[in-house]
Structure formats: structure tokens, C-alpha cells
A and B are shown apart, each in its own frame.
Chain A
Amino acid sequence: MMRPIVRLSHLTCSLLAMVTLLAIAESVSAQALDISSGGQPTITGAVNGSVTGSASVLNDLIVTVNFGEVSPLNTNPIVKVVVPIALRSNQPYQVSVSVSGISNANGEGLQASDVGFGLQNLRLLGGAGQTCNQSTHLIRSPFNNDPAASATVGTNGRVAYPSSLANFSGSTIILSGPELSKNNSSKRQQSDGWIFDAILTITPQFFTAGTSSATLIFTIAPGPNVPC
């Protein structure tokens, strides 16, 4: 009985071991932490603007926002983008955001503070989303707002938001809470977590002419150990 096993090559044994380890690892890490698209992103009030992203909650979160023209040539009161983001976890979580790429030496140019950012509409993603009674999902201050609805004009005449891209310093936590999913699947499913809307806004103003860009990286990680 021993001879056939002995004849197996070392390579074969190694590969079998790898498969076993992968299976174990997959089982352990199933549904641990996941962030994905939460649906089709939308844009309103834009002139020559667009937003692209997947409508499927099974796809990765990869969204490209072009606010378009934000000088006074755009006569709309505000350009608003809503990006639904889905979260899944079998443990307490936190979501952080880091922002890079937006800087303008000219104070009258588009600044990070001119891009409103807020979170709204935290909601279940289907029946397998976990509803916890002992802890709530917490949108961290100052991000719990719709910047399109809460923009104000400062004494200098410039539009300001309760929260904006200027509120990000390094990796900044925007949301945390208890576990998000009932099941323990290793695969994304249509209905096994929570969704929130990330809202970005720019009010067309007399900014200095030019182009601006920024990249927001959303990260989900183990969060404060709160009960479900």
C-alpha cells in the first residue's frame, strides 16, 4: 500500500499540500471583509460630465467621475455625484478613505475643500445582510451629510461644505460598525451586506481656469470590536 504514495513526485506532493492550504485559507477567510460596487453611480447638474462604474454589486468598486465644466459656464447650482458602495463582513469593520492628487497652489483654483464629500443612505443589501441590535453603524464626523443639501456660502463668498476632501488626512475612517453579513460565503452575493452612498459635489464657481483630478481609495478593515 505504501509504494504508490512513495512514488509520487515531490512536486505532486507539494501541489497537493498547496491545494489543501488554499482550501483551508479560503474557508477561514470567507466573507471576512469586502468592498464592492453598490450599484450604478449617477451624476446630475453636469455640463460635459460623466460617471462610469458597474451597476452590479458583484463587481469591484472602480468608479471614474468627470465633473465636467465647473466654471460659471455651468449654470447649474451644483454638480452632484452619488456612488453606491457595498460592504460585506463577518466581523466588526471600519471603512477608511485616503485622497491623493488634488492640490492647487493658486488659492482661487479648485481646492480639496471645494469638493464636498458626505455619506448617506446606509441600507441593507438584501436579506442576507446582518441586522445587529447591540451596535449601530456609525458614520464618523463630519461626514454624515449630503453636501449638496448642506452647502453654504462663506463670508468670502466661496461655497463651503460640512465635509469635503479637505477633511481627509492620510487614511481617514469614515464609517464603522458591527458585522455586515449573515452568511459566511467566500463569494460576493447579491444580498449579503450593506450599502451606503458616497456623495461628491462641486458648485460651479469662478475658479481659476485649469483641470484638477483626485483619487479616493476606499478600504475596509477590521474595526472596533463591537457586539452585534
Chain B
Amino acid sequence: MPRKITNSLLLTIALALSAITCFGQSTTGTVSVSATVSKFVEINSGGAVTLTGNSGGGVTTDGVANSPLAVAINLGELGPGNTNNFVTAQVPLKLRSNAAYVLSMTATVTSSGTTANRIGAADVGFGLGTVSRTGAGVNTAGADTNATSGDPTLAANGSVNGTSGRYEFTAVRSNLSAFTSATTALSGPFIMNAVPRSNGNGLTVPAFFAIKPQFFENGTTTISVTFTVTAP
């Protein structure tokens, strides 16, 4: 009998303790916090296109700074009727990233001509100009690698072929024949410090496209260029 009483008491105590625990109060509480930052890269227009040396033609769809890059340019007359040294289009690009980036480019050139004298990819000079990392929120310490030879109209980047007489862009990655498949044009470390996307600054670089007016086969030519930026 005493054992039964003891057991009953133990049960009562256990129930009481359980009840106290269930309705118990606490002097502490916990809030656990987590967040994720993924790699981010983007390319936009760096501003208005500059077209020089053209005869006829013009900028059909201009670039608007910080808007998606989608410009259309009519280079005008590219035969000897255009007496300028070069027809040059300068397209400002703006890149932003929170990680190391690679800018690659793919180009296609299609002409209506049927002979070797038609305009081909090698006749379209290309290069990236001076890279600028300026403004609040930009990682100004970053060093970028320009895989092109810069302004294709520079004397060092091209000349008349002594045998064929045709003008050629001869420097490394100085014409669109080097970009028939996705090829790196520029790379570097992260561009933006920890600032909101509403910050309008970034890395800007001009993309030069140039054609030397020559006795090309008459016809029309379409040049399509796609820039892609990635964070490998």
C-alpha cells in the first residue's frame, strides 16, 4: 500500500510539472536570419552612338544609357563614293557585376554580293576602347583585360595589303572574323561595390566598328553583333 501511495504521488508530481512546463514562461526568444547573394552581371547601353565618316546612313536606333543594348546603325555608302578614310560607329557599353566577369561577342556578316570582293567579316574592323571605372559605388581598383587591339582605325591596327591592295585590319582580334563564334573581348574583376541597382554607375567601354570604303562589290551588307556578359 505505501508503494502505491508513493507511485500515485510521483504521478501527480509528474503531471504537475508537465502542466507547469506547458504553460511556462520564457525570458528569451530567438530570431534566426539568413540571406543569399547570387552572382549578378548585366550589360546595358552606355549612351548614344557616335557615327563618323559616313556618307548617307545614320543611327536608326540609338542607345539610351542604362537601357538594354539594342542599337541599329546604317553605315551608309561604303564604296569609293565615300571619300572618308573610315566609316566608324562607336557604341558605348555599360557593364555591371558583383563578381568577376567575361564579355564575349559573336558576329555575323552577310552580304548580297557573290564574289570575294564583297564585304566580309574581315573587312569590318572592331575593337574595344578605353575602359572606364568611375563614379560612386564602382570598384575603381579593378584591372580589366582588353582582348582586342582597341580602335581598329589606328595605324598600328591595319594597313593596305601590299599584294592585294585591299585594306586589312591585321591586329589581334581587330576585325569581326575573329568573332564568328563567342569569343572573349574583355574580362576583369567585380565591377560594383555593395550599392543598390538604382546606382547608375558602372564600367563603360566604347565598342568601335569601322569599315574602310573601298571598291567592294556592290550590294548590301548586314552586320549583326551580340554581346554577352557572364560571371564564370
Contact = CB atoms under 8 A, between A and B. Distances in A.
A35 B28 contact: yes
A219 B26 CA distance: 9
A60 B199 contact: no
Contacts of B28: 35, 61, 217-220
Interface stretch (B167-175, B190-198, B213-221): B190-198
A66 interface: yes
B197 to A, nearest CB: 4
Given A12-B9, A65-B32, A218-B28, 12 more contacts: A22-B20, A34-B25, A34-B26, A34-B27, A68-B35, A71-B39, A110-B35, A153-B196, A206-B98, A206-B190, A210-B36, A217-B28
B198 to A, nearest CB: 8
Contacts of A64: 31-32
A9 interface: yes
Nearest to B23: A187
B230 to A, nearest CB: 13
B5 A67 contact: no
7 contacts: A9-B2, A35-B29, A63-B29, A202-B35, A206-B191, A206-B195, A206-B196
Contact of B36 (A34, A68, A186): A68
A211 B6 CA distance: 56
Interface string B16-60: 110010010111111111111111101000000000000000000
Task: Decide if the interface of chain A is mainly helix, strand, loop or mixed.
Answer: mixed
B37 A66 contact: no
Which bucket holds chain A's interface residue count? 35 or more
Contact of B38 (A66, A111, A188, A209): A209
Interface string A28-71: 00011111110000000000100000000000111111111111
Contacts of B139: 108
A15 B29 CA distance: 32
